[in-house]
Amino acid sequence: MADQQNKLGSAGLTTQDLQNPLSFIANTGAEKEREKRFQQLRQERERDIQLGQKRAQEIAPEGVLGRLQGIDSAEAQALRETRLRALQRVQQQQQRQLAGTQARGGVTGGLAGQQQINLANQQLQQQQAAQQALLSEQSRIQRGINQFNLGQAGKEFAARQAIGLGEAGLGAAERGAVLSQLSAEAGAAATRAASGGGKK
């Protein structure tokens, strides 16, 4: 143990230098370029990530898959009027049927008036039910549109993530090989120095 420490001391090293050879290499004048290269590789990695994100935004920008538009006020009004006209035709037919029934049966006076009132109340309920059904239908359509648009946005986000990672990873393999080589060289240099092959 003492012999090893003497060798380390003669080489200008400590046991901590062996445990952290990169730190030792970084602090030696001959190897500062290697540490500089480490920093450059890190900067290149960050640049690759930024370029990947930019490229992903260019290829798959928000909305590229398309979106469905909701029902606007004009469309809603047109649909309401269409449904109302259809209901009015039905109710007019109901009124003609009641009038024909009363004529054939000789129903007049108060009884005829009461039957007309009853029909009017029934038709009012039909109109209210039709309005509620229309609102429910429009709400259901809008929910479907919203779900579709969310799905499209999710697909676009996933595409951007995949593209960004792919673009950023193009240089990752090369940098990884260089970093591994630099680490190996740093460890070898520290070992040589510890065994007496370093500085005198």
- Where do the structural domains in the chain lie, given as residue ranges? 1-200
Q: How far apart are the first and last CA of the chain?
A: 20
> For residue 112, what are its two tokens?
């005829």
pLDDT(44) > 60: yes
Q: How many CB atoms lie within 10 A of CB 13?
A: 19
b/e map of 143-166 (b: 16 or more CB within 10 Å)? Answer: eeeeeebeebeeebeeebeebbee
Task: Please state, in angstroms and as integers, the Cα–Cα distance from residue 109 to each residue in 94, 102, 112, 115, 116, following that order.
Answer: 20, 11, 5, 10, 11
Binning the chain into helix, strand and coil, the percentages to the nearest 5 are 85, 0, 15
Q: How far apart are CA 182 and CA 34, in angstroms?
A: 7
pLDDT in tens, 78-119: 888 999 999 999 999 999 999 999 999 998 999 999 999 999
Contact 51, 168 (CB under 8 A): yes
Kindly report which listed range (59-73, 85-99, 115-129) carries the lowest average pLDDT score.
59-73
pLDDT reported for residue 173: 66
